[in-house]
Amino acid sequence: MNTTSKQDRVLIFDTTLRDGEQSPGATMSHEEKLEIAALLDEMGVDIIEAGFPIASEGDFRAVSEIAKNAKTSVICGLSRAQLPDIDRNWEAIKHAKRPRIHTFIGTSPLHRAIPNLDMDQMAERIHQTVSHARNLCEDVQWSPMDATRTERDYLCRVVEIAIKAGASTINIPDTVGYTAPRESAEIIRELLERVPGAETVVFSTHCHNDLGMATANSLAAVEAGARQIECTINGLGERAGNTALEEVVMALKVRNDIMPYSTGIDTTKIMNLSRRVAAVSGFSVQFNKAVVGKNAFLHESGIHQDGVLKNVETFEIMKPEDIGLNADNIVLGKHSGRAALRSKLKGLGIELGDNQLKDVFVRFKDLADRKKEVYDEDLIALVQVAEDAGADRLSLKRLRVVCGTEGQSAEMTMVVDGEEKSCESTGDGPVDAAFNCVKQLFPHAARLQLYQVAAVTEGTDAQATVSVRLAEDGRIVTGSSADTDTVVASVKAYIHALNRLLVRRGKSGSDQKEISYKDVS
């Protein structure tokens, strides 16, 4: 018997490109935003919050292009409770097949104090702005920011005003990650019971993970009647992040017996999106992260392995294939050809054009010469590095480091704007010595904010993936690279970040956010 049709449908609202991207350091380039939006659309996300159009020229451009390209998803832009914000938002999303305006204002006592509005003045502002949005767009979502710390009577009052003014989705944000499951459910239940017209709108939940309860809070809200979950891939977002899409979607799938709600997500696309978001944001996924962590399907201990070999259900509650993890363990080596590489990548959910494949194949051969067995993770790292290699102003030509107990130094040749330049330097360790060479050959004021190394696979011949985050004049970029030589990977990641910074400089700051959604006056 097919029970799906009887289930309540929960809408998945992805805000990776808005709430996720505004996390310091997670800034994505224009092309990366378009790529992630296309993948979300393909995965079946119901609503994509593509950005905050008034924040910067870059945000506006990205939201408009995503709106034009979207095939099925509703495309939503965020705006504060100000008429020019809402107009700008509409300008960006109006070409979407299915546009949505999302507007919000902070309603808790602490947030009301910022624009210095009393309760009545704020209520009036909500009526005015939601009505304005509704005159522009049929689909309007309204959020009382910091709802979970707003007086319940006032929350009911403002939600009623927003519904009367034409909002069809009411989103309840737990802005500071303060609520807990019972309270999250209570709020939704109370709004549904007390607010006239509540049955005519969709209630949505938007949770932050400051106390590690975002997934539990979102699911509790659904059980109480919310029918939209706002979330991000990998839980990307400010501070401890937002509700992770993969967690709520897989929880609803795996525990459908006790939470009989369906989503429209093609879960087999989860892993590829997780990898792409990690790569473009520079926020790698912790190994033990639920659902998409590297260890999520690893069964290391002897007892577990024995159990899993006899019956996978002994210790596994979901199948790796359900999230798009390839179960085939075919390892490529130096004799593998281009067709084998293409088919392996396809199995990993990665489809490349002929030129890209050619480029990845050269890198694969080079790696296979140095490393006996090339695993899935190695290939993913190769693809991610290859994707950004373009018309770069800086590149590494040669590096030699000396390290050991008697001091560390580096000799380097870099190509800077077509010209070869060489130098030598010392430092506190080989990476520091090599980075000092980069600074000598290409002097810059960018500050190093993050330097992170991870081994792609096990073994001493493993590739290292390195992320380097640089900050300059409010611009933050992340560079990444992979190599079996950790120092080479580090220098390439540093140079990658510098190249990205140079591209942003060239755009005279158009990607820089001039306004934050927290400027609520």
Binding site for Zn ion (CB under 5 A): 19
Q: How far apart are CA 231 and CA 475, in angstroms?
A: 25
Which residue type, as a one-letter code, is found at position 448? L
Q: What is the four-CA torsion angle of 17, 18, 20, 22, rounded to 10 degrees?
A: 120
Give alpha helix (H) positions in 244-313: 245-254, 270-281, 302-310
Nearest to 202 by CA among 192, 215, 187: 192
311 burial level (CB within 10 Å; 0-12, 13-18, 19+): exposed
145's contact among ligand KIV, Zn ion, none, with CB below 5 to 8 A by partner kind, is ligand KIV
Q: Which residue is nearest to Zn ion (CB)?
A: 19
> CB neighbours (10 Å) of residue 197?
13
Pick 104 or 364: Cβ nearer ligand KIV: 104
517's contact among Zn ion, ligand KIV, none, with CB below 5 to 8 A by partner kind, is ligand KIV
Pick 145 or 325: Cβ nearer ligand KIV: 145
Q: Are 25 and 476 in contact (CB under 8 A)?
A: yes
Shortest distance in whole angstroms from residue 282 CB to ligand KIV = 21
Pick 18 or 500: Cβ nearer ligand KIV: 18
Pick 19 or 46: Cβ nearer Zn ion: 19
Shortest distance in whole angstroms from residue 242 CB to Zn ion = 6
What radius of gyration, in Å, describes the C-alpha atoms of the chain? 25
Does 228 help bind ligand KIV (rule: CB under 6 A)? no
Does 111 help bind ligand KIV (rule: CB under 6 A)? no
Q: Any long-range contacts for 212-216 (C-beta under 8 Å, 24+ apart)?
A: 212/240, 213/177, 213/179, 213/180, 213/181, 214/174, 214/177, 214/240, 214/241, 214/242, 214/243, 214/244, 215/243, 215/244, 215/247, 215/248, 215/251, 215/290, 216/180, 216/181
Nearest to 141 by CA among 69, 249, 226: 226
Shortest distance in whole angstroms from residue 460 CB to ligand KIV = 44
Does 235 help bind ligand KIV (rule: CB under 6 A)? no
CA distances from 521 to 80, 113, 125, 238, 303 (A): 9, 10, 12, 21, 59
163's contact among Zn ion, ligand KIV, none, with CB below 5 to 8 A by partner kind, is none
Pick 40 or 438: Cβ nearer Zn ion: 40
Pick 132 or 492: Cβ nearer ligand KIV: 132
Pick 18 or 289: Cβ nearer Zn ion: 18
Give alpha helix (H) positions in 225-337: 245-254, 270-281, 302-310
Does 173 help bind ligand KIV (rule: CB under 6 A)? yes
Q: Tell me the pairing of strands 419-427 and 11-14.
A: unpaired
Shortest distance in whole angstroms from residue 35 CB to ligand KIV = 23
Q: How far apart are CA 222 and CA 287, in angstroms?
A: 28
Pick 208 or 371: Cβ nearer ligand KIV: 208
Select from 149, 206, 289, 492 the one that contacts ligand KIV (CB under 6 A): 206
If DSSP states are collapsed to H, E and C, what string results for 63-118?
HHHHHHHCCCCEEEEEEECCHHHHHHHHHHHCCCCCEEEEEEEECCHHHHCCCCCC
Shortest distance in whole angstroms from residue 518 CB to ligand KIV = 9
Does 143 help bind ligand KIV (rule: CB under 6 A)? yes
Pick 205 or 272: Cβ nearer Zn ion: 205
Q: How far apart are CA 243 and CA 43, in angstroms?
A: 18
Please give the size of the binding site for ligand KIV, defined by CB under 6 A.
9
Q: Tell me the pairing of strands 447-455 and 464-472.
A: antiparallel
Question: By CB under 6 A, what part of segment 13-72 binds ligand KIV?
Answer: 19
Shortest distance in whole angstroms from residue 291 CB to ligand KIV = 22
Select from 60, 90, 104, 494 the one that contacts ligand KIV (CB under 6 A): 104
16's contact among Zn ion, ligand KIV, none, with CB below 5 to 8 A by partner kind, is none
Tell me the two tokens of residue 278: 């990690």
Pick 20 or 166: Cβ nearer ligand KIV: 20
Shortest distance in whole angstroms from residue 477 CB to ligand KIV = 23
Shortest distance in whole angstroms from residue 101 CB to ligand KIV = 13
Shortest distance in whole angstroms from residue 17 CB to ligand KIV = 13
Does 175 help bind ligand KIV (rule: CB under 6 A)? yes
Select from 50, 105, 145, 224 the one that contacts ligand KIV (CB under 6 A): 145
Shortest distance in whole angstroms from residue 518 CB to Zn ion = 10
Interface positions with ligand KIV (CB under 6 A): 19, 104, 143, 145, 173, 175, 206, 208, 517
